[in-house]
Structures are given as structure tokens and as C-alpha cells.
């Protein structure tokens, strides 16, 4: 499959007049099987950035949500109001769960999708919720829930869900990524890789039978985790056949610099307007 992916929302925006940045993530995906939108950012900028970048949001056949966090789902209502038509929304059944982010000082902030399901459905959202690895059009898969098989990708201890009268670490089982079979290997777009970037790529290769990775880009969540886990992830990524590694959003500058050092010319720092093709 031929594919072109354009970053519409990211933490960084520079070099293009008129685009805006925010802590969030969204990608416009063009394929020969149709166009899709992965995530919507935190809201208020996705439609603006699409217009500035010349991206035709009207052309999308569906919206894919990598997980429920507000910085990936907060722009969903804005997109639905722009489209003004029914549109499939592909996601995990955990999309509407109640979750929190622990702040400095122990304060908790709601971190989930900021809209009720019935409001979104009233604006045209047609939810297709499934936890399985599945092909939504020929050559384009969603990973669904990614098995945690590495010994060191332990998730984010500050992401919480309620249990009884207290809170436990959110396993973020709903985390998913987009996998496309392209010439030269897999083309993988991450949301935040809460399941671990190594776990995600291993699962994609296992499910598709393809061992080459043409391109992988998106949030790696390595910026939120410790140095030891980051180094183990980089070690195992280097052992894979990765042609292009792009990082963004929740990767963090420290982790991005380390990955740039290790991957050299194969490394790309994402920003709004970045384009990846295969």
C-alpha cells in the first residue's frame, strides 16, 4: 500500500506560518484505500492546521483513536462539527473509561475523553469499538490491545484508574497503533505507545509476518519514564530493521536527543507539518 502521513497536531510547530502547536497528537493519513484521521489533538487547532497545510479533512473515511486520553481525543467534537456527517470512529472498548493523571503534589486531574458518548453520537460519531488486532481496509490494521511481553516496559505509574475507594496504575489496555503493509516493510503510526514501543513493534511484526519496518513514528512515551527503561528500549529498537524512526509529542527532548544519537540519519524529530511517505 502507498501511504502519506501528515502531522496535524504536535507539541512543536515551527517553519510553517499559521500552524499552531499544543500538547497533543493527530495525523492525517492518505492511502490508496482511502484517507483516515488518527487522533484529534486536545482541541481548538486541528481544523486550523489542516487548512493551513492544505489537508482535506472532508475526504476522510473514518477516525481512529489510539486511546482515550484528552490530548488525543479533545479535538473530536471539533472535527465532527466540521464534517457534519456520520463518520466511523475506530477505537478500543475502553475509550470512555474514567481515568486520571497524578500531578505534582499528588493532585489528580481527569485525563480521559472530555465528551460524553451520546453528545459525540449526536454529532455523527459511529463508534466501532474492538480490542482485537484487525484489518479495517486491505493492508491497514489496528493493533488493538498490545500484549505486554518485554520485561521493562512497565507503563506510566502516574496514569491512574479508580479501584474501590482508591486508585491503581492504569494499564492503558486500550492503547493501539496503526500498521500498514508498505513496500519495504511496515509503516507504523503510534499514538503514545503506552504498551511500550518495543512491545508494539514486536506485536505488529508477529501479527503480519513482516520483519522489516519501513517507518515508525509518533509518541513513544519515553519522556515520562526512567533512564533505565529508555536505554533498554533504545537497545532493542536498534536490533530491529527500522528504516526511519520519527518521535514526537510524549517522547520528550531528552529521549529524542538520545534516539537521534543512536539512529543518526534514520532519525526524524516530528513537528506539525512533518510528512512521512512509503
pLDDT tens readout for residues 164-188: 888 899 999 999 999 999 999 999 9
Segments of 159-234 assigned E as strands: 159-163, 166-169, 178-182, 185-189, 212-219
**Nearest one of 77, 33, 78, 69 to 51, comparing CA atoms:** 78
> Nearest 5 degrees, angle CA 41-CA 46-CA 47?
155
List 239's β-bridge partners, or say none: none
Question: In whole angstroms, what is the distance from residue 256 CA to residue 243 CA?
Answer: 17
Backbone phi and psi for residue 48, each to the nearest 5 degrees, phi listed first: -60, -50
Query: The domain 3-277: what is its CATH number?
Result: 3.60.15.10
Which pTM value belongs to this model? 0.96
Could you report the per-residue pLDDT of 242-263, keeping only the tens digit for each?
999 999 999 988 899 999 999 9
Q: What's the pLDDT band for 26 if we cut at 50, 70, 90?
A: very high
Give the pLDDT of residue 66.
98
Give the pLDDT of residue 180.
98
Inter-residue contact 45 to 9 (CB < 8 Å): yes
The C-alpha cell that represents 216 in the structure block: 515508525
Strands lying side by side in the sheet with 185-189? 134-137, 140-142, 178-182, 185-189, 212-219, 241-248, 267-269
Give the pLDDT of residue 156.
86
Could you report the per-residue pLDDT of 97-145, keeping only the tens digit for each?
989 998 887 778 899 999 999 999 999 999 999 999 999 999 999 999 9
Residue 104 vs residue 40, higher pLDDT: 40
Amino acid at each position: 500500500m502507498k501511504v502519506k502521513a501528515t502531522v496535524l497536531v504536535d507539541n512543536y510547530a515551527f517553519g510553517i506560518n499559521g500552524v499552531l502547536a499544543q500538547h497533543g497528537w493527530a495525523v492525517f493519513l492518505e492511502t490508496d484505500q482511502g484517507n483516515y484521521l488518527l487522533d484529534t489533538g486536545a482541541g481548538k487547532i486541528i481544523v486550523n492546521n489542516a487548512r493551513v497545510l492544505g489537508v482535506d479533512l472532508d475526504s476522510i473515511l473514518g477516525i481512529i483513536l489510539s486511546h482515550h486520553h484528552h490530548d488525543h481525543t479533545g479535538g473530536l467534537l471539533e472535527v465532527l462539527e466540521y464534517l457534519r456527517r456520520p463518520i466511523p470512529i475506530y477505537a478500543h472498548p475502553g475509550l470512555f473509561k474514567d481515568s486520571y493523571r497524578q500531578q505534582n503534589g499528588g493532585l489528580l486531574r481527569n485525563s480521559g475523553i472530555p465528551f460524553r458518548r451520546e453528545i459525540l453520537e449526536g454529532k455523527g460519531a459511529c463508534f466501532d469499538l474492538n480490542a482485537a488486532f484487525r484489518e479495517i481496509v486491505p493492508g491497514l490494521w489496528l493493533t488493538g490491545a498490545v500484549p505486554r511481553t518485554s520485561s521493562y516496559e512497565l507503563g506510566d505509574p502516574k496514569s491512574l484508574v479508580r479501584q474501590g475507594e482508591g486508585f491503581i496504575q492504569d494499564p492503558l489496555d486500550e492503547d493501539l497503533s496503526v500498521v500498514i503493509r508498505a513496500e519495504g516493510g511496515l509503516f507504523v503510526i503510534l499514538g503514545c505507545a503506552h504498551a511500550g514501543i518495543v512491545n508494539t513493534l514486536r506485536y505488529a511484526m508477529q501479527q503480519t509476518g513482516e520483519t522489516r519496518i519501513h517507518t515508525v513514528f509518533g509518541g513513544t512515551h519515553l519522556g515520562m519514564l526512567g533512564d533505565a527503561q529508555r536505554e533498554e528500549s533504545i537497545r532493542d529498537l536498534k536490533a530491529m530493521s527500522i528504516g526511519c524512526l520519527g518521535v514526537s509529542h510524549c517522547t520528550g527532548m531528552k529521549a529524542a536527543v538520545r534516539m537521534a544519537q543512536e539512529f543518526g540519519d534514520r532519525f526524524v524529530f516530528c513537528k506539525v507539518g512533518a510528512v512521512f511517505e512509503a
